[in-house]
Amino acid sequence: MGSAEPKIVAKPIARNRRWGLRLLILIGLLVVGEFYARGQAWSAPRYSSFLRYQHVFTPALQQASDSQGNVFWMTHDPRHPVQWIARDKAPETLRVICFGGSATAGLGHSPNVTFPRHLEILLRRAYPERPIEVLNLGTVAIGSKQVLQLVRDAIAYAEPDLMIVYSGNNEFLEVHAKEFARTRGGWKAQLASTLRQSALVRALERAVQGEAEPTDLPDRRPGQSGHTQAEIIEEIEIDASAERAALSAYVQNLVAAAQAAQEAGVPTVICTVAVNWLWSGKEVRESAGQDAADAEQRLAELDRVDLDSLPDRKARWRHVLERADALAILQRDDEAAQAYLQALEIDPHQRRATVSQGEALQGGLLATKARIFNSTQWYLSRAQRPWIGFDEFYDYVHFTPYGAALLAEGLFTDLAQAGWLPGAEEGVAEGYAAAHRAEVLARASQADAPDFFERDRFLGIGLDPANLTSRNLWKYEAMALELDRVLAEDPDHVAASIYRGNRRSFQRGQRDQALADWRRALSAGGPEELLRTAIEALQNRPRLNRSLFDLR
C-alpha cells in the first residue's frame, strides 16, 4: 500500500502572507496617520480638560444688537450671567475684565454678590461722567489653564483697559479626577482614557460628535453629590511630586497670563487667593463650641500627641484644627492663627488655595509688570482676630456679601494708590464694605421680603434670610426651586415673583420668563416704578445676532 499524497498548503500560506502584509500596511498607515494628526487642530481634544465642565468656549463674546441698531459684544456661555459691552468702545471708556473660578463668578448668590460687581459700583462713583464697563468672566470650576485661555481671548477681542485675575482654588480638580478614574473607574475608564491619547481617535470623536458646546456640559442640581465633592475628596490623595507639578503649572499659567497682558500693554492685577481658614466641612466642629475649661484640658491632651505618629494626612489635619479651636477659645489668638494656617497647608482635600501657593505665585510674577494684590493680607488687615473665617466666606472659598464687597474695596484702594486710577480718590472706597454689610443685614431682617427687589442689588437669598450664611454650595439653585414651590401654591406672591424674575434676568434664554414674573408681580400690586423700569430695561437689552451654539 503506497504512502498518502502530501497535502498542498501553498495557497493558505500565500493567503496568510497577503493578510499579514495588509495588516502591516494598515498598522503602518495608522502610525503615519497618528504622527501626522498630532498637532492638527482637527485632532485636538473636544474638551480642553479631562473634566468637561472645565472647558471654556472662545471667543467668549458674540456679536449682539439692540432694537436701536447699536452693536455690542455679549456673553453666550450659559455659565456666565448675561453681560454685554460696546463693540465700538467709546472714548474715555474704562473697560475692566475679571477672570477666575467660582469665587469670582459668585457661586451661591446672585451675580451681584461678586467683587467685580462691587468694583463696578466703586468705579462709577469715582468716575460719574466716564463710561464704565466691568465684565465678569469668572466661571465655576475652571482652573488657571482655562483662565489663561480666557485672558488671551479677551486681549485679542475685547480691548480691555484693565484685567483682574483671581484664580487658585481649582488646581487639583482635574488631577484628582484622573486619579479617581485610574484607580476606581475600572478597565473601561482606563481604556477610554488611553484611547483618547490618540490623535486619530480624538479626530474621529470630533467628526462623530461635532464641536463641544456649552449645552453638553453637566447640569448641576441641588442635592446631586457627584464624584468631585464626594468620593474623590474622601478617597483620593496624590503624591508629593504630583502636587508640586500641579502648583508649578498654576504659577506658570498665571505668569503666562501676565506676560500676555504685558506684551499687549494691558495693565493687569493678579490676586493671591484668600480662603476660609476655619473651614472643615458644612457641619460646625464640636471642638469649636467648648468652654475654656474643656479647651484647656483638650489642648493638654492634644499637645501630648506626636503629630507624625498619626496615621495619615487627614488625621493630622483634624488634630491641628482641633488644637487651633482650643487656642482660639482660650484667646491665645496668635498661636491659634498659626495653627489654623498650619491646618490649611496640610488640608488633604486641596480645594482651597494655600498661603504658600500664593507666595509661590508672587515669586513667579516678580519678573512681569503685573501688579500683585495680596488678598490674604488685605483680609487679615480688616479682621477682628488674626485669621480669615466665616465673615468673609460662607463656606471654604466663596464670598459672603460682605467678603465680596471687602475685596472690591481693597482692590480699588490698591489701584488708586498705585496710580492706576488717575483722578480717582482713595477715599471713594473707604468704609464701603462695612456700609454694604449693614444695609444687607437691615434688609434681611424684613421678614416679608428679606432680599432686595432691585435687579442690580438682588442678593439671591430669596425668601429665606438664612441663605446669607448657609454653607450649602448650591443654595442659589435651591432658592430657585423654593421660589417655584411658593409660586405654584400662590401665583400672586409678589416677592417670590420679583425674586424669580431677577434670577431669570441673568440667565441665557430666560428673558420672556423673567418678564412674565415681573408683570405678574406688577399686576399683584408690586412696586410699580421699580418693576416698569426693570421691564423696560430688559425689553431693550441687546440680543445675540447669532450664536455658535444656537442659544436663544
85 φ, ψ to 5°? Answer: -135, 160
The CATH number linked to 146 is 3.40.50.1110
Q: Is the same domain home to 261 and 130?
A: yes
Q: Is residue 421 part of a domain?
A: yes
Residue in 502, 501, 500 with CA at minimum distance from that of residue 482:
500
Query: 66-116: per-residue pLDDT in tens?
Result: 988 999 999 999 999 999 999 999 999 999 999 999 999 999 999 999 999
The three-class DSSP label of residue 532 is helix
Q: How many folded domains does the chain comprise? A: 4
278 φ, ψ to 5°? Answer: -90, -5
Give the predicted TM-score (pTM) of the model. 0.91
pLDDT at 222: 44
Q: Is residue 215 part of a domain?
A: no
Strand order in the sheet with 371-374: 132-136, 94-100, 162-166, 268-272, 371-374
Q: Give the C-alpha distances (Å, rounded to integers) separating 248 from 49, 262, 438.
A: 17, 21, 41
pLDDT at 228: 45
Q: Is the same domain home to 123 and 266?
A: yes
Q: Is residue 219 part of a domain?
A: no
Answer for the pair 481, 463: CB distance below 8 angstroms, yes or no. no
Q: Is the same domain home to 330 and 360?
A: no
Q: Is the same domain home to 458 and 538?
A: yes
Q: Is residue 472 part of a domain?
A: yes
pLDDT at 20: 81
Rounded Cα–Cα distance for residues 352 and 274 (Å): 9
Q: Is the same domain home to 292 and 273?
A: no
Query: 462-474: per-residue pLDDT in tens?
Result: 999 999 999 999 9
Q: Is residue 300 part of a domain?
A: yes
Dihedral class, residue 226 (left if φ above 0, else alpha if ψ from -120 to 50, else beta) = left
Q: Is the same domain home to 96 and 113?
A: yes
Q: Is the same domain home to 84 and 165?
A: yes
In DSSP terms, 75 is beta-bridged to: 61
Q: Is residue 416 part of a domain?
A: yes
pLDDT at 438: 98
Among residues 379, 408, 443, which one ends one of the domains?
A: 443
Q: Is residue 184 part of a domain?
A: no
Instruction: Tell me, letter by letter, the H, E, C secondary structure of 469-517.
Output: CCCCCCHHHHHHHHHHHHHHHCCCCHHHHHHHHHHHHCCCCCHHHHHHH
Only one residue has cell 449693614, namely 438
Q: Is the same domain home to 259 and 406?
A: yes
Range of the domain at 24: 10-38
pLDDT at 8: 54
Rounded Cα–Cα distance for residues 233 and 247 (Å): 18
pLDDT at 550: 45
pLDDT at 225: 40
Q: Is residue 210 part of a domain?
A: no
Q: Which residues of the chain have pLDDT under 50?
A: 1, 220-228, 547-552
Among residues 443, 459, 477, which one ends one of the domains?
A: 443
Q: Is the same domain home to 28 and 136?
A: no
Answer for the pair 74, 63: CB distance below 8 angstroms, yes or no. yes
Q: Is the same domain home to 302 and 327?
A: yes
Q: Is the same domain home to 375 and 479?
A: no
Among residues 383, 414, 443, which one ends one of the domains?
A: 443
Q: Is the same domain home to 60 and 156?
A: yes
